[in-house]
Amino acid sequence: TTSAEIIRSLSASDYFDEIEVAREGNILVITVLERPSVAEITIEGNSVLETEDIIDNMASADIAEGQIFTRAALEAIQQGIQDVYSSRGRYGASVEVEVEEL
């Protein structure tokens, strides 16, 4: 297995932002920087959609407490919630997301 294969394999897992492979003598050293995980989800101000429905929708997009956080998934779910509001005639509804780094 080459260093490039190790990096490709670890990158495919989507768990790491950075992966470095180095050799120190006869020892292979792999250093990784994990992607952040979702610590808590708070939903506020929703009067048309049930909180549980929003959380279920988010979980189907792999956004749940304890899951690895990706900005792409968050943007997709934001658009999905906006689409649900629009489908219920709430065209003026706005969906805002806020991410707090711990």
Each residue of 13-31: pLDDT tens digit? Answer: 888 989 999 999 999 999 9
CATH of domain 36-102: 3.10.20
The residues facing 32 across adjacent strands are 19
Domain residue extents for the chain: 3-34, 36-102
Threshold 0.75, pTM exceeds = no
The mean of the pLDDT values for the chain is 87
How many CA atoms lie less than 13 Å away from 78 in the CB half-sphere?
A: 12
